[in-house]
């Protein structure tokens, strides 16, 4: 089945009690049993809820996985994955990573005795040097947030197989429309469904998708024991969003390309970060593992005056200045003070994340209007 057909049909069945074609919002905390233990597969909504089950099945189908698990935010999904580890375990990740992931690793799980290494993951050799007998997990985010570096998932799949490590891929920026990491050797795909998957900036949710039954059982135990599960109304909204994922992503990619090319030719712009450019350092890997290049574009103006970047962010009208990304409407952000403020400045600088970087989440409006907005804002 091709992706668009899957987005609309896969994993979702008409409601068994009424035939409703759209999954109802099962707004219930509990389920009546005929006799102790004699129930219809549902006991309590932290553990299972029919609306969530349908969403989890749809996500598993889209990522070419077997099991999906939903959480009350992307960070709650990260938290659940980290709870697979024990004190003394080590994790290697990229030095160009969503600030919230960096924060939970270094400010929460480091206190529980887990050690994290951050490196430039474009070179597999850098990571191999950090792997030792305590290493249990490699955490990939690709394209990276906010510098849009591309990490070779297949290369890490091979390394993890060889060294018996778990490979996690945060697929938030790409979505399964652009890449399916489980097909490239990842053990777990993690999502902030808040972004492209939900797609309408009206819900906060996260997910993990796996193929392996044992890993699913361990994660489902954590999901139920720790309890960061989403409510049925939010699950309904993401299910609804998924049905147009392919249409939205196609337009995000087209608009992203036009915006990136406009910025590249603008005399006041110094550098544009977008993996579709042939001169992007990881363009070949992007071409190999992605169907297209996505709707995220970051850029820096000429000179290193933060006030100039601030002025552009203030002047933009269609691009709303707000955290988050992946909604139908265009957003702009200043990673150094917003999404990545929790990363110490020195570490940010080392990773190449300057104080003047502007991040755009290019929406699905008409590209001409978005470009006109950028033109007036940059001046
Ligand atoms: O916001 P939440 O749903 O908890 O997801 C966290 C998260 C995880 N991984 C990536 C790659 C992300 O980008 C995010 C959230 N990011 C933003 C809010 C942002 O503006 O970048």
Catalytic-residue membership of 177: no
Kindly give the number of the ligand 1 atom that is closest to the alpha carbon of 77.
Answer: 4
SS3 state at 205? coil
Give domain limits for the chain: 3-242, 245-378
Ligand 1 neighbour 339 (Cβ under 6 A): yes
Closest atom of ligand 1 to CA, residue 141: 11
Q: Fold match between 3-242 and 245-378?
A: no
311 counts as catalytic: no
Catalytic-role residue among 6, 195, 348, 359: 195
| Coil, strand or helix at 240 | helix
Residue 38 φ then ψ, to 5°? -100, 95
Tell me which of 3.40.190.10, 3.40.50.1970, 3.20.20.80, 3.90.1150.10 is the CATH number of domain 245-378.
3.90.1150.10
- Looking at residue 304, what is its pLDDT? 87
Among 104, 141, 143, 145, residue to substitute to test ligand 1 (most atoms within 8 Å of Cβ): 145
Token pair, residue 70, equals 């939903």
Question: Given the CA of residue 325, which atom of ligand 1 is nearest to it?
Answer: 20
Q: How far is the CA of 98 from the centre of ligand 1 (A)?
A: 6
Structure tokens belonging to residue 44: 């309590």
- DSSP letters, 78-119, are HHHHHTT--TT-EEEEESS--HHHHHIIIIIGGGGT-EEEEE
Scan for tokens 């290697």, then name that residue. 92
112 has catalytic annotation: no
Place of tokens 């068994």: 16
Kind and range of the H or E run holding 296:
strand 296-301
pLDDT of the chain along its 379 residues, tens only? 999 999 999 999 999 999 999 999 999 999 999 999 999 999 999 999 999 999 999 999 999 999 999 999 999 999 999 999 999 999 999 999 999 999 999 999 999 999 999 999 999 999 999 999 999 999 999 999 999 999 999 999 999 999 999 999 999 999 999 999 999 999 999 999 999 999 999 999 999 999 999 999 999 999 999 999 999 999 999 999 999 999 999 999 999 999 999 999 999 999 999 999 999 999 999 999 999 999 999 999 999 899 999 999 999 999 999 999 999 999 999 999 999 998 899 999 998 999 999 999 999 999 999 999 999 999 9
Q: Is 98 in the pocket of ligand 1 (CB under 6 A)?
A: yes
Are the beta carbons of 330 and 361 closer than 8 angstroms?
yes
Which pLDDT score is estimated for 28?
98
Topology at the third CATH level for domain 3-242: 3.40.640
Q: Where are the strands (E) in 75-222, listed by range?
A: 90-94, 115-119, 135-141, 166-170, 188-192, 206-210
Rounded to the nearest angstrom, the distance between the alpha carbon of 67 and the centre of ligand 1 is 22
């Amino acid at each position: 089945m091709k992706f668009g057909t899957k987005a609309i049909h896969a994993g979702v069945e008409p409601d068994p009690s009424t035939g409703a074609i759209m999954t109802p919002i099962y707004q219930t905390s509990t389920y009546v049993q005929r006799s102790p233990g004699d129930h219809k597969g549902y006991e309590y909504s932290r553990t299972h809820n029919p609306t969530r089950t349908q969403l989890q099945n749809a996500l598993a189908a889209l990522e070419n996985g077997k099991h999906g698990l939903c959480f009350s935010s992307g960070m709650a999904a990260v938290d659940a994955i980290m709870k697979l580890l024990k004190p003394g375990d080590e994790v290697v990740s990229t030095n160009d990573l969503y600030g919230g992931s960096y924060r939970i690793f270094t400010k929460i799980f480091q206190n529980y005795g887990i050690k994290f290494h951050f490196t430039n993951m474009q070179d597999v050799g850098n990571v191999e040097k950090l792997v030792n007998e305590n290493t249990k997990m490699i955490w990939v985010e690709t394209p990276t947030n906010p510098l849009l570096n591309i990490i070779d998932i297949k290369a890490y799949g091979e390394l993890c197989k060889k060294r018996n490590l778990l490979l996690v891929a945060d697929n938030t920026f790409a979505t399964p429309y652009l890449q399916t990491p489980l097909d490239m050797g990842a053990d777990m795909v993690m999502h902030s469904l808040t972004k492209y998957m939900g797609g309408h900036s009206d819900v906060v949710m996260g997910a993990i998708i796996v193929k392996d039954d044992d890993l699913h059982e361990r994660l489902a135990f954590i999901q139920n024991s720790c309890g960061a599960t989403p409510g049925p109304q939010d699950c309904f909204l993401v299910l609804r969003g998924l049905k147009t994922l392919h249409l939205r992503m196609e337009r995000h990619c087209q608009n992203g390309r036009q915006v990136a090319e406009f910025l590249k030719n603008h005399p006041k712009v110094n550098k544009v970060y977008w993996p579709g450019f042939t001169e992007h350092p990881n363009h070949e890997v992007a071409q190999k593992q992605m169907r297209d290049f996505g709707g995220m574009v970051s850029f820096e103006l000429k000179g290193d005056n933060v006030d100039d970047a601030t002025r552009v962010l203030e002047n933009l009208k269609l691009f709303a200045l707000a955290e988050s990304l992946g909604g139908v409407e265009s957003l702009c952000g200043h990673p150094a003070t917003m999404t990545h403020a929790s990363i110490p400045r020195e570490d940010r600088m080392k990773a190449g994340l300057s104080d003047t970087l502007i991040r755009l989440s290019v929406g699905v409006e008409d590209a001409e209007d978005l470009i006109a907005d950028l033109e007036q804002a940059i001046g």
